Amino acid sequence: MDETEAQTVRHLFDRYLTLKSVRDLVDEGASEGLSTRLRQRKDGSVTVTMPFGRGNLYHLLSNQIYIGKIRHKDQVYDGEREPIVTAAMFQEAQALLASQAPRRRSHSNVSQPHLLTGLLYHDAGEKLRSVHANKQGVRYRHYVSKQFVDRRRNESEGWRLPAQAVNRQLSIA
């Protein structure tokens, strides 16, 4: 990893600890023009890959290689490279990620399942995803277009269908 990429990694860790939100970090990274690693082709041309997405950033922020460690199966070993971020910064990021992680539910303890997950499509043929939000102790469930999941809700055009209304309509039919 060259120094430019190392600076990008340090910057992303620092900004995540300041913003405390991966989604805000995605937005800020896009506005700053940050993108995933540059790739050099066999012919010598260089291509810039995509801007950082949420998945890229979750992986980056939890990758122990940036503190000089390497994982093999269930074991973690000291790596051969120098750490890019401090162990304290990495641990702080891990604690923040863990505190924000959703509690995973199994099929047996979901109070109101999304009955149509994977079965609904919008007019462009893309599957609608099932999501939920909590506001003042009330859980609101929706089937939404990918744009709503990947981008800020107020900046995208896509579908958002209340799950309760869709399920009710289908039970009547």
Q: How high is the pLDDT of residue 17?
A: 96
Q: How high is the pLDDT of residue 41?
A: 80
**Are 135 and 64 members of one domain?**
no
Q: How high is the pLDDT of residue 21?
A: 92
- Report yes or no: 143 and 166 within 8 Å, Cβ to Cβ: yes
Residue 140 and residue 144: Cα distance in Å, rounded?
Answer: 12
Tokens read off for 27: 């937005």
Q: How high is the pLDDT of residue 145?
A: 80
**Are 41 and 119 members of one domain?**
no
Which of 82, 100, 118 terminates a domain? The answer is 100
**Are 18 and 78 members of one domain?**
yes
Strand pairing class (69-72; 138-144): unpaired
**Tokens 């890229």 identify what position?**
56
Q: How high is the pLDDT of residue 25?
A: 94
Q: How high is the pLDDT of residue 162?
A: 79
Q: How high is the pLDDT of residue 128?
A: 80
Reading phi first (left if > 0) and then psi (alpha if -120 to 50, else beta), residue 68 is in left
Most distant CA atoms of the chain, gap in Å: 63
**Are 71 and 144 members of one domain?**
no
Residues of the chain with pLDDT under 50: 109
**Are 81 and 137 members of one domain?**
no
At 79-97, the pLDDT tens digits run 888 899 999 999 999 999 9
Q: How high is the pLDDT of residue 152?
A: 58
